[in-house]
A = this chain, B = another copy of it.
């Protein structure tokens, strides 16, 4: 589960983490029953305070997306209804499209041309897909290890 934190950003770290975990759940990178990294591990990996991660997990738990089991870990919950799920997805995409257009608007103001923006898009898509693939294969190998063991 890749999570990328933008340090200088005005978006609070906790919110960045939360949105990416939500996206992972909606996209299927995280499936019901999967365990999230422990609060301490994720905190260390992201070089973030433990409490920050705890807060994120607590909020996702209040949303009903995950469940924190004392002494065991934090786990993705099965989503109650497909309808609800696809509604969440629609909401997330709407929000995404707003952000996207805001960013582009700023790019144009900064004098970037359509051609430059298209190049950046292509590069960013490639980057993101590479990350996703790398992760998926890492997960597969982890799973096969588990099966062997």
Contacts and interface: CB of A to CB of B under 8 A. Distances in A.
Interface in A104-149: 104-112, 114, 117-118, 120-125, 127-129, 131-132
B111 A128 contact: no
Nearest to A8: B95
5 contacts: A23-B106, A100-B107, A108-B125, A117-B121, A118-B121
Provide the main secondary structure of the chain A interface: helix
A132 to B, nearest CB: 7
B101 A127 contact: yes
A110 B23 contact: yes
Contacts of A120: 97, 100-101
A100 B101 CA distance: 10
A12 interface: yes
A38 interface: no
A89 interface: yes
Interface in A80-109: 89, 92-93, 95-109
Given A110-B93, A121-B118, A128 B103 contact: no
Interface string A23-51: 11011010000000000000000000000
